Amino acid sequence: MNIVDQAYVEPTDPKKLYQAAITGMLRSLDANTSYIGQDQLSSFESIFEQEFGGLGVSLDGPPRRSALTVASTIFNSPAFRAGIRPGDVIARVDGQEVRTWTTQEVSTKLRGREGTSVRLLIDRDGQEIETTLVRERIEIESVLGDRRRSNGTWDHLLEADPQIAYVRIELFGEKTTEEFRKAIESCKPQPRGLIIDLRDNSGGLLLAAAQICDMFLDEGTIVTTQGRGQRVDEVLKAAAGTILPKDCPIAILVNENSASASEILAGCLKDQERASIIGTRSFGKGSVQNVIPIEGGKAAIRLTTAYYYPPSGRRIHRRNSTTESDWGVDPSPGCEVAMTEEQLEATVSRFRARSLPVESPQSDTPSDRPSQDLSIAVDPQLHFAVEHLRKELGAK
């Protein structure tokens, strides 16, 4: 750094050199080890704390989309109340053109202190709409249901079959365990079967996944972590008591984007023969990261410190080898269900539509809704899970 600082043809910024050195060093270790700079730490922590000051809008951009696009809005957030819709393109923020910015850069700009305002220019199918929003404290939902009621709460009993509960976990954060417990307890009458949807869940806190596993097990190992030299760091075991009867069948939906804490939950309940796994093989991220503060707590290192193993002891983590085949969590025998791109798009559209509150408050209870929901057919994996549980229930 001294040589570069003194001899490089242009003046240098020592702080930028320092950050680039740390970033490059950590990047050489594995894809999940990284430097979290001062400008990123707050956003990183807010994901797992499940709250932040902002507008309540989720963005997506290149390479998956050609422009910076609204993917979804959080119910009753400033963005939701302002009528911002999925598919809207954010063109300007406080007068700055942001179409070419990264998703992270714009997300950071939209967040801020509660009570402060931000001016947006939205491009909706060629029509420009300007609006000013006031930031609020946004609470991130990590546990969703089958459909949203008019009062904003989720109905977790399937419209397609009210004897089966449906719980979708978006991430594993600090509030996920309690959200999950409340979701199950809200089901009246108590469900006879349960679907846990972990598709596209990239993970989060290991402890949250382990605590949810414990809700369905009376005893036995949940997960084991091993550090350098295969040293056993921790073994988490189930305690007595379950949230649902042992004879209540469980189906867990996973896909190629279900990773980390999702694989802990799916792998544990599969190995303990407490759940059937339906969908496609999971991502294969079986490593544990610790967040270590540096720079006086203003920045951090996210460092891989261990691998985790489900009760069977098999390896979840997929390394770089293209020849290995034993990684991730596989579907249970006869339960592999792949999806086409068209089916994926239809499934996402269905769920987004059902995330909006119903118009009539009379639809707040399952009994006020029709007994069948034919739109479940557009989601082959969910449809398979329902039929699978019906067979298990019919066999009892």
C-alpha–C-alpha distance, residues 290 and 38, integer Å: 17
Query: The tokens of 207 are what?
Result: 């402890």
The string of pLDDT tens digits covering residues 275-301 is 999 999 999 999 999 999 999 999 999
Kind and range of the H or E run holding 251: strand 250-254
C-alpha–C-alpha distance, residues 261 and 209, integer Å: 6
pTM of the entire predicted model = 0.84
Percentages helix, strand, coil for the chain, rounded to the nearest 5? Answer: 30, 25, 45
Is 330's pLDDT higher than 90? Answer: yes
Least confident of 122-126, 228-232, 364-368: 364-368
Query: The tokens of 122 are what?
Result: 């939205």
Query: The tokens of 328 are what?
Result: 């991730």
Output the CA torsion sign for 317, 323, 326, 327.
positive
How many CB atoms neighbour CB 171 within 10 A? 20
Average pLDDT, the chain: 89
The string of pLDDT tens digits covering residues 195-222 is 999 999 989 999 999 999 999 999 999 9
Q: List strand residue ranges (DSSP E) for 107-192, in order.
A: 117-124, 127-134, 136-139, 143-144, 147-148, 154-155, 164-169
Give burial (CB, 10 Å; 0-12/13-18/19+) of 110: buried
The string of pLDDT tens digits covering residues 307-324 is 999 999 988 998 766 556
Is 40's pLDDT higher than 50? Answer: yes
C-alpha–C-alpha distance, residues 55 and 52, integer Å: 9
Residue 141 vs residues 21, 109, 132: alpha-carbon distances, Å: 36, 21, 24
Q: Which domains does the chain have, with CATH numbers?
A: 52-138 (2.30.42.10), 143-394 (3.90.226.10)
Is 392's pLDDT higher than 70? Answer: yes
The string of pLDDT tens digits covering residues 334-376 is 999 999 999 998 898 888 888 877 654 334 444 344 444 557 8
Q: Which residues are catalytic?
A: 260, 271, 285
